[in-house]
Amino acid sequence: MGLIDYKLELESAAKSMILVHNHNTLIKMIVRNIVNKVRLHHAGILLYDKERNSYILTISRGQRGLKIPAGFARVESEKGLIKFFRNRDNYEGLKDTILTNERINVFLKKSFVSRHKHLKNTIIEARHQMLGFGAVVALPIFFQQDLLGVMLLGKKRSGKRFLQDELNFFVALSNNVSMAIKNAELFENLQFEVDRNHRLFIHTAIAMTAAIDAKDHYTHGHTQRVTEYSLAIAKKLIAKRKISSADNFVENLRIAGLLHDIGKIGVPESILGKKGKLDAEELDKIKQHAIIGVTILQPIKELGEPILGVKYHHENFDGTGYPEGKRGSDIPLPARIIRIADAYDAMTSDRPYRLSLSKYEAIEELKKFSGIQFDPVIVEATIDLYKEGSL
């Protein structure tokens, strides 16, 4: 394949890299593209790793033989190739230069190189590293003043040498690669921020609801268990293809699970913690927690969907629950799931007025009230989990 041909292909490949926002995938793509299009034995990229403050090698398997296990090789920042590319522009005769086997031999004979012992040693170190990687060409990948990495090219499969025109082209290509790497880095940082903020929200919800659980001495850990059971049930339902795992369904269920009892904050402690049996008025106050939850959460515009899980988690399948007496599939699915997870946890935990049931007994209760309090399909999934030992 001629130079012009692979130039066009590589350029277009480099462009499409811009939209690859996963660092690893990106580097692998670049290396693979170069090896295939330029028809090299192999190629690699040394990429800066902030945490380890060194440059880590990602390589192609190449066509024949040579295979360094990925992540195996790393190069320290103050040595050989890295040191050379970071400092080359301080020497008039090395400005913008890349390294090839031939050039290294020429450099080492130059008098200004011999005069600078450190420089000479650095070049010798770089040659040693290139030999170790089986590279005959090394090009820096700069983003502005930052050395993001070094591209290492093995020999051509044809056995021919690289032409000057080809080397110039690779320098231009390394600009595209630099842009793609920087872009991926910015993307990953932003994605990290998304995740961090989401975890901040989830963990705050966990902490606050755990604090509310703590007020009700008999429900220690209740909220987290209900959330876990709900998620396990949802995943089972998805696995059984009883429901589709549409956008955010599981994540919204998690949030609804965490917040389902948030309204208890509005129920007097004297009622929540009461050891004897509750009278009708007290029971009414307890029942209000679903609606109080909605009142608390309604102002959170970003919340949306999960509020339904909070509002309706005490509706019964036959329409005898509260707050609205909804029935069957009119009850939002997350609420039907939480209903069962909540009941299961209540039955399997000690309460002021009774000891807990065994898991077996609790499952029997779910069966007994399947179609009455509980959605039969969800009861089935819960039984499956119980049988597998995952409840």
- The residues of the shown chain that bind its own copies, judged by CB under 8 A, are 15-16, 18-19, 21, 175-176, 179, 182-183, 186-187, 190-191, 193-194, 196-201, 203-208, 210-212, 214-215, 262, 265-266, 268-270, 296-297, 299-303
135 by DSSP, 3-state: which?
Answer: coil
Least Cβ distance, residue 61 to its own copies (angstroms): 29
CB nearer to its own copies: pick between 70 and 206 = 206
If the CB atoms of residues 183 and 356 are measured against its own copies, the closer one turns out to be 183
Residue 26 vs 123, nearer CB to its own copies: 26
From residue 92, give the alpha-carbon distance in Å to each of 79, 89, 146, 156, 301. Answer: 21, 7, 20, 31, 61
For residue 374, the minimal CB distance to its own copies (Å) is 29
Nearer of residues 52 and 199 to its own copies, judged by Cβ:
199
Q: Which of 8, 15, 53 is nearest to 175 (CA)?
A: 15
Dist CA 205 CA 83 (whole Å): 49
Longest CA–CA separation in the chain, Å: 99
**Of 147, 199, 223, 221, which Cα lies nearest the Cα of 178?**
147
Please classify residue 298 by burial: count the beta carbons closer than 10 Å to its beta carbon, then call 0-12 exposed, 13-18 middle and 19+ buried: exposed
Sheet holding 99-100, edge to edge: 74-76, 54-59, 43-49, 146-153, 137-143, 99-100
Residue placing its CB nearer to its own copies in the complex, 194 or 355: 194
- Least distance CB 51 / its own copies (angstroms): 18
Structure tokens at 182: 């920087």
Q: Which is nearer to its own copies, 271 or 383 (CB)?
A: 271
What is the DSSP code (8-state) at residue 318? T
Residue with tokens 């965490």: 258
Q: Which is nearer to its own copies, 262 or 362 (CB)?
A: 262
| 80 close to 122: Cβ distance less than 8 angstroms | yes
In sequence order, the 6+-apart residues with CB closer than 8 A to the CB of 75 are 46, 54, 55, 57, 81, 82, 129
Q: Give the separation between CA 100 and CA 108, rounded to whole angstroms.
A: 12
Nearest to 62 by CA among 42, 45, 34: 42
Q: How far is the CB of 351 from its own copies (least distance, A)?
A: 21
Q: How far is the CB of 262 from its own copies (least distance, A)?
A: 7
Shortest CB 322 distance to its own copies, Å: 20
- Of the pair 94, 272, the CB lying nearest its own copies is at 272
Q: Smallest distance, Å, CB 179 to its own copies?
A: 5
Residue 19: CB minimum distance to its own copies, A? 6
